[in-house]
Amino acid sequence: MNMKDKLKTESEITWCPGCPNHLILESVKQTIANLVDAKKFKQEDFAITTDIGCHAKIFDYLNLSGIYCLHGRAIPTAIGMKIGNPNLKVITFAGDGAVYSEGISHFIHAFKYNADMTLILHDNQSFSLTTGQPTPTSQQGYQSKASPLGTFDKPMNPIKLALAANATFIARTNARDIKHMVEIFTKAIAHKGFSFIEVIQDCLIFNLEANGKDARMYKVKDNTDKKIAEKLASEFDYNSKEGRIPIGVIYQTNEPTLEEKWPQLKKLLDKKSTWKNK
Ligand SMILES: Cc1ncc(C[n+]2csc(CCOP(=O)(O)OP(=O)(O)O)c2C)c(N)n1
Ligand code: SF4
């Protein structure tokens, strides 16, 4: 059996036909299969946490250890996993509703801790599982059952927030481009520290007005300059109907990780050991 097939589960996939979550799943499987086939990691080196939402069903479709978390709490649970076993490669899947609303404090503090893990943020500008209420990245004027007069507020810009919070890795990718997602997920997993990837994703059922940004996206070179990163972050404000949207590694730098800063964890890292076997 090839590695990608080993990552499959028996669960029936219940995302809407055509939902880009199918392509995100495929890209994650391809990324992990490449890393295992290249003998960089073993399947059991990976662990996942997921939030609650359409995106979070990925928990049932990936044959990896993990925790299906409370809404908004997928990041702190992942950091807990890293403290439990700093040698794990932990990947977190979460939605814009979950992370930028209920989980926003965890998002900000995660950049400060800089645990060596990856956050894959499925941004469809909608709380989709609960029928399309507006999230902090929904565009102004978005009408839903919960906002019949249209959303009054301007959306927040999570890339700017991540930069202000001293993120060490920020990237953006397109949920319709498997090749680009695999490239970005691979770079994020290789990054030493907290890697944040915003995946721009259509929802075929809710907030249709926010869909179809593919033609506006353009690829940028991997960037390590903060001033350039700030410019890239400003190019798309989650509101605009036109203008370019940069995708790629928007910013990367090096800072000590949580595991390196914490002496007991550093020992476990150096010995490739766990608390049980220390
Ligand atoms: C503590 C708590 N608050 C709220 C909910 C309800 N809830 C479950 S899924 C969800 C929407 C998730 O939206 P998002 O994170 O954007 O993911 P998507 O469904 O769009 O993938 C909400 C509000 C919950 N399950 N638990
Ligand atoms: S409601 Fe939207 S996000 Fe959820 S599965 Fe359907 S298309 Fe995907």
Using a 6 Å CB cutoff, which residues line ligand 2? 15-16, 19, 21, 54, 124, 128, 203-205
Residue at 278 is within a domain: no
* This prediction's pTM: 0.98
Residue at 109 is within a domain: yes
Domain that holds residue 119: 3-270
Question: Residue 207: which residues within 8 A CB-CB, separation 6 or more?
Answer: 124, 125, 126, 132, 134, 138, 142, 144
Q: What mean pLDDT do residues 43-71 have?
A: 98
pLDDT of 118 reads: 98
Identify which of 69, 55, 52 has the alpha carbon closest to the alpha carbon of residue 24. 55
pLDDT of 1 reads: 86
Q: Count up the domains in the chain and report the number.
A: 1
- CATH number for 60: 3.40.50.970
Residue at 65 is within a domain: yes
Kindly report the protein residue whose alpha carbon is nearest to atom 5 of ligand 2: 15
Residue at 275 is within a domain: no
Q: Which ligand is nearest to the CA of 125?
A: 1
Residue 123 near residue 131 (C-beta atoms within 8 A)? no
For 81-118, write each residue's pLDDT tens digit: 999 999 999 999 999 999 999 999 999 999 999 999 99
Report CA(269)–ligand 2 centroid distance (Å): 39
pLDDT of 251 reads: 98
